Amino acid sequence: MNETYMNERVSLESIASNVETIIRELAAAGGLSEGQLLVIGVSTSEVLGKRIGTAGTVDTAERIFAGVEAVRKEIGFHPVYQCCEHLNRALVMEQSVAERLRLELVSAVPVPKAGGSMAAFAYRSLSGACLVETVAAHAGIDIGDTLIGMHLKRVAVPVRPSIKSIGSAHVTMAFTRPKLIGGARAVYELEGTAAQPVQDNGTCE
């Protein structure tokens, strides 16, 4: 067994555990909980050190999926896998979840050359998978700079993972929070058991 093959094998075998680690970090930072959506964008080509869209593999997707599932089984969030640009970045998720959230379904079956290896694997692995046009997810993780921002709720809060890359793919991730509205006089937390009035000589409406 040559050294290059051994290094590649070690790298592949570490993918699932590394993905599990960074998703746990994201879940802890953002308070990701049961029933919430986690959007996941992956370039398996980038993981393997190749240019996005050129060398994806189902084996790599399988390991990433395993890492996600390890955390999902504990927390109960719903994973949503983003397709590539050839399917307009539609998303793979369980149809029962999509119907409950009244999301718009679209008709396509992701394959490695149109959708990407990750979406193709997820479509065949999730229970009752379907494709939806868009979501507003509570958190997201991007492995390989696939650009998932269009599917996140506002406002996104970046989280810096302890593992900066999966294989050769750069990792970014974020959770979301409700918008803070108002200006200098706005109050965002209750004091005691009831909201306290703002003492101000100015007028508001």
Q: What is the pLDDT of residues 144-199, one digit of tens each?
A: 999 999 999 999 999 999 999 999 999 999 999 999 888 778 888 887 644 454 45
Q: What is the CATH number of the domain that holds 40?
A: 3.40.50.10360
Two tokens at 124? 């065949």
CB-based burial of residue 4 (10 Å sphere; 0-12 exposed, 13-18 middle, 19+ buried)? exposed
Cβ contacts of 49-55, under 8 Å, gap ≥ 24? 49/167, 49/168, 52/144, 52/145, 52/146, 53/84, 53/116
Question: Is residue 143 over pLDDT 60?
Answer: yes
Cα 202 from chain centre = 44
The structure's pTM equals 0.85
Nearest to 108 by CA among 91, 96, 95: 91
H/E element holding 66? helix 58-75
Per-residue pLDDT, averaged over 19-47, amounts to: 97
Question: For residues 119 and 110, is the Cβ–Cβ distance under 8 A?
Answer: yes
Inside any domain, residue 89? yes
DSSP 113: T
Say what the pLDDT of residue 7 is.
46
Q: Report helix, strand or coil for 85.
A: helix
| Helices of type H across 76-194 | 95-100, 117-125
CB 101 within 8 A of CB 64: no
Residue 83: phi and psi, rounded to 5, are: -80, 170
For residue 127, the one-letter residue type is S
- The answer, yes or no, to whether residue 42 has pLDDT greater than 90, is yes
Backbone angles phi, psi at 165, to 5 degrees: -150, 150
6-10, 51-55, 128-132: lowest mean pLDDT where? 6-10
- In-domain check, residue 167: yes
* Cα–Cα distances in angstroms (integers) from residue 122 to residues 50, 63, 156, 190, in the given order: 21, 11, 25, 43
Q: Among 36-40, 49-53, 90-94, which stretch is predicted with the lowest mean pLDDT? A: 49-53
pLDDT of residue 192: 65
For the chain, give the percent of residues with pLDDT over 90: 77
Looking at the structure of the chain, the number of domains it has is 1
Residue 200 predicted with pLDDT over 80: no
User: How confident is the model at residue 187, as a pLDDT?
Assistant: 85
In contact, 93 and 129? CB cutoff 8 Å: yes
Instruction: Tell me the average pLDDT of the chain.
Output: 89
Does residue 189 fall inside a structural domain? no
Best-predicted range by mean pLDDT among 4-8, 45-49, 55-59, 118-122? 118-122
Residue 97 placed within a domain: yes
Amino acid type, 109: V
Whether residue 15 lies inside any domain: the answer is yes
Domain that holds residue 152: 3-176
In a domain, 205, yes or no: no
Round to whole Å and give the CA distance between 59 and 27.
25
| Within-domain flag for 185 | no
Residue 168 lies in a domain: yes
pLDDT for res 8: 52
